[in-house]
Amino acid sequence: MTGARPCPLCDDPATEAFVTIATQSYHRCPVCALRFLDPAHHPDRETERAQYALHQNDPDDPRYRAFLSRLADPLLAMLEPGSSGLDYGCGPGPALAAMLREAGHAVALYDPFFAPDKRVLEANYDFVTCTETAEHFHDPAREFARLDALLRPGGWLGLMTIFQSDDARFAGWHYRRDPTHVVFYREETVHWIAAHYGWECTIPCPNVALMQKPGAADPGSSP
């Protein structure tokens, strides 16, 4: 096990050695409850790209749509008609964006591998979705600061990731075994993130969080 590492989310220096599995060392944070892979063991970009290319994210797959509806349905209930949003980490098959567009909303796409146009990161949005993406963040503090900056006052962040809950089963957990998953959030971690940014947070169903940035949205603004 390598030495203590600062938490990549809250920057607390007193993280604890968690577990070593084969050659990979993991740490846990006593402040925000994040579990994370030692940065020395992060995959390189080519490994990430190869793994992401294996994902089957067909926008026309009804089972995948049903999976995404766990976030889409409660988010849509919160949005004003004709809202504008960003699918952050959309992947090779942006099914969620398609579902939200079908509901009458404008959705831009960003993904460092599959939709890398950074001009969309210069706008502000009524909502940002981040589904099955946050577990890939090598620098979650920077990423969540960016997500906060992307949201207009009153905007919504929709987050979907499997919440880690059982330390005793961590080694055999299927989510951990994905080589591109490097940070793991517990439900209390999500509440820490919300409190840190002053967001209101609700957990409408397991592994989904909706967080609202404070302030009233300006109906005359546009991306």
pLDDT at 54: 77
Q: Which residues contact 77 (CB under 8 A, 6 or more apart)?
A: none
- Identify whether 1 is part of a domain: no
What is the count of structural domains for the chain? 1
| Cα atoms in the 13 Å half-sphere on the side-chain side of 192 | 17
- Identify whether 159 is part of a domain: yes
Mean pLDDT (the chain) is 93
Dump pLDDT digits (tens) for 6-63. Answer: 999 999 999 999 999 999 999 999 999 999 999 999 999 999 988 887 776 777 888 9
pLDDT at 124: 98
pLDDT at 58: 74
DSSP 80: P
- Identify whether 89 is part of a domain: yes
pTM given for the model: 0.93
- CATH number of the domain that residue 53 is part of: 3.40.50.150
pLDDT at 3: 60
Task: State the average pLDDT over residues 206-222.
Answer: 77
Structural domain range at position 109: 16-212
pLDDT confidence band for 220 (50 / 70 / 90): very low
